[in-house]
Amino acid sequence: MSIGSRRFHVLPGFHLTLGYTIAYLSLIVLIPLSSILLKTMALSFEQFWAIVTAPRVVASFKLSFGASLIAAAINALFGLMLAWCLVRYRFPGKKLIDALVDLPFALPTAVAGIALTALYAPKGWIGSLLEPQGIKVAFTSLGVLVALIFIGLPFVVRTVQPVLEDLETELEEAAASLGARRWQTFRHVLLPILTPALLTGFALAFARAVGEYGSVIFIAGNMPMVSEIAPLMIITKLEQYDYEGATAIALAMLILAFVLLLAINLLQGWNAARRTRKAGGKS
């Protein structure tokens, strides 16, 4: 084989690189997850089912997964709008707002929870304005939603922003020259290009929100059957030295999260295949 035909690899050989990758994933991901499964196997299926279907646990699952899905959907909408403004417009304080987007990444979750509670409490700056309208945020399930929106927004913005930066404005100008209205341009030209990034940001925001604890625990109020999240149920079981019960709830959360993320990935793959078929049909 000639030198010119050989493929140049920056990293070491395939076997060495693959070995390091598998070892790293095993230590960081696979071994901890397998320990959850092994600990749960100490329970019979009837015991496991009784734990994960207890009314209090089911209520916490509904709140955690329901609020996470709603928060991720809200972040997908407003994250797209924020990313659009940061990419397409110039305005005073743009760099400051761009830096503030990453604040939930750097801010300790407990600090975020305390700050949100202080703002949305009945005597807080925002809560005092909402209280006369009959809207109570702090210490309710609505407070959980607010906290999850706060910590999930950067994932959507930072996923969509690079795609918008690489998007050529000539596509919009061409659509406008052909008589397309603004909504038609967005729906038929821009949205198909942005959909994979939006779905990725949605999935990341959802995954982050499902396991969130620190920023939610203060503003939720932690009322059983009302504002108690699933991670708190795991902590409660651990404090009671019920390790099997804690791992059973953790395993149920892991399975539910995996199924939902798999559905999102399948939707993303279906969308990519549909775009490919459409492009092939036009050619």
Could you tell me the pTM of the whole model? 0.86
Q: Where are the domains of the chain?
A: 1-41, 45-282
Please provide residue 122's backbone torsions phi and psi, each rounded to the nearest 5 degrees.
Answer: -55, -30
Report pLDDT for 40: 87
Q: Residue 197 and residue 260: Cα distance in Å, rounded?
A: 17
Report pLDDT for 154: 95
Report pLDDT for 33: 82
Could you read off the pLDDT of 3-46 as tens digits, one per residue? 445 566 666 677 787 888 888 888 888 888 888 888 888 889 99
Q: Residue 148 and residue 186: Cα distance in Å, rounded?
A: 28
Could you read off the pLDDT of 137-183 as tens digits, one per residue? 999 999 999 999 999 999 999 999 999 988 887 878 888 888 888 88
Report pLDDT for 52: 94
Confidence category of residue 2, pLDDT binned at 50, 70, 90: very low
> Which CATH number describes the domain made up of 45-282?
1.10.3720.10
Average confidence score pLDDT of the chain: 87
Could you read off the pLDDT of 60-96 as tens digits, one per residue? 999 999 999 999 999 999 999 999 999 988 989 999 9
Q: Residue 19 and residue 48: Cα distance in Å, rounded?
A: 36
Q: Is the sign of the CA dihedral 66, 72, 76, 81 positive or negative?
A: positive
Whose tokens are 């942005």? That residue is 194
